Copies of this chain bind each other. A is one copy, B any other.
Amino acid sequence: MKLSEIGEFGFIDRVSALFKDLSLPEYIGIGDDCAIIPYNEEEDYVVTTDLLIEDIHFFKDLIGPEQLGYKSLAVNLSDVAAMGARPIGSFLSIGIHSDTELAYLDLFLKGYRQLSKKYHVPLLGGDTTQSGKQFVINVVVIGTCRKGEARLRSMAQNKDSICVTGHLGDSAGGLEALLRKLSQTELTKTLIRRHNLPEPHVSEGLWLAQHEGVHAMMDISDGISSDLSHILRTSEKSAIVDLNKIPVSDELKKVAVSQAWDLDKLVTSGGEDYVLLCTIKDGSFEEVSMGFREAFDRNLFQIGEIVVGGSGINWVKNGKKVSFNQHGFDHFSV
């Protein structure tokens, strides 16, 4: 049997089962945005790691070295944010061809450093090695959160509001604009910037984790269709999501109209937005969203509700049930 037949998530389940008997009660391991390990009496550590490979996760002709360095750290900071934790340090491993120009690497490091400085995340170590043709990047980020207060995917409750901290689909729109070589307008440039330079919602994650009413949390990396499914599976719940309520930027709406893109597909299946997806206790949304608006001068968007019964995500549009076949990007699906 080939790996492609069971897919990325099938393989992760396989690994998880194989190592289950070695797990320790005070550690939370495979299956969330980060693992959790004990720190001191008040805090836990969270740890995340992401492997990025040229021509799979990025293409050198679509992203510059400085943006790539920035984005490599950003996607890991987003995983820490999704736990409601504060990043405290990173590790950067790179595999690169020895013919690579130092100027390229210096720009990569400049972008990585820019975000390190912004979030006060020192570079604590890593590894440097030769690779074949492909540039390989592995980033680890460690963070801290108040003991027992990390937000897991499994914490969604019946009747929770399903919320996102920003627009969906911009990053996928930016990638489309790059792949289709659309002319560089203010609109397409904005979408491309959101694809190549995503802003991790670190402050938003920390703020949300201070509120008891915020239950499950994760980041949107594979697209909400795939990501929300992880929350539903681990929380053993279903969801109703109203497509009309998914927040879409004016820039994406305009470009989608001009290019005749399927906007619903883009916002549900397009990944890499790196905004946070969270579920909020029944009756608490108004209070949390008001506080969120005061703190960030932006809206927290309610897009649906957690329910018991049914299966997976039940999509609604214009008051009617609709069905989708598209799924978030599964790295090994055929």
Quick one: copies of this chain in the complex?
2
Instruction: Point out the residues of chain B lying under 8 angstroms from A30, CB to CB.
Output: 123-126
Query: A109 to B46, alpha carbons, bound, how many Å?
Result: 24
Q: A6-B102, A125-B48 are in contact. Are A22 and B116 (CB under 8 A)?
A: yes
Query: A134 to B97, alpha carbons, bound, how many Å?
Result: 13
Instruction: Point out the residues of chain B lying under 8 angstroms from A126, CB to CB.
Output: 15, 30, 49
CB distance from A186 to the nearest CB of B (A): 33
Q: Is the CB of A109 within 8 A of B15?
A: yes
Query: A268 to B333, alpha carbons, bound, how many Å?
Result: 47
Is there a chain B Cβ closer than 8 Å to A18's Cβ? yes
Is there a chain B Cβ closer than 8 Å to A257's Cβ? no
Residue of B with least CB distance to A48: B125
Q: Is the CB of A129 within 8 A of B29?
A: no
CB-CB contacts below 8 Å: A1-49 with B: 1-6, 8, 11-12, 14-15, 18-19, 22-24, 27, 29-30, 32, 34-35, 37-41, 45, 47-49
Instruction: Point out the residues of chain B lying under 8 angstroms from A122, CB to CB.
Output: 19, 22-24, 27, 29
Which of A135-143, A170-178, A271-279, A297-305 lines the interface with chain B? A135-143
**Chain A interface bracket (under 10, 10 to 19, 20 to 34, 35 or more):** 35 or more
Instruction: Point out the residues of chain B lying under 8 angstroms from A1, CB to CB.
Output: 101-103
The 24 listed contacts between A and B (C-beta, < 8 Å) are A1-B102, A2-B99, A2-B100, A2-B101, A3-B99, A3-B101, A4-B98, A4-B99, A6-B102, A29-B89, A35-B91, A35-B125, A37-B142, A39-B39, A47-B125, A49-B93, A49-B140, A50-B127, A51-B127, A56-B130, A98-B334, A131-B134, A132-B134, A140-B140
